[in-house]
Structure 1
């Protein structure tokens, strides 16, 4: 594993803007979904490693 937050593809980002309850975002087209992950889970990955668990 490279850097601590390099577990998933792409750069980690901040949280998205809040959405009103009862709404959803839809993608246009039938291409593959874009996977996004939020930064800040490095402490959890370190905890997993300290417990001998693979964070993947």
Structure 2
């Protein structure tokens, strides 16, 4: 579970992600910055979908 500080950092980072196009390296860096590596690396569709070039 995210603590308040990590939750705030996640919301900020996701806001930036919405405004920019994240690649797999960006998501991995974010995961380490907010100490949520398992949440991002364990989300198979997130990283895999980056290779498809879909807008979502």
Structure 1 length as normaliser, TM-score? Answer: 0.23
Q: Whose helix proportion is higher, 1 or 2?
A: 2
Q: Which structure has the bigger radius of gyration?
A: 1
Structure 2 length as normaliser, TM-score? Answer: 0.23
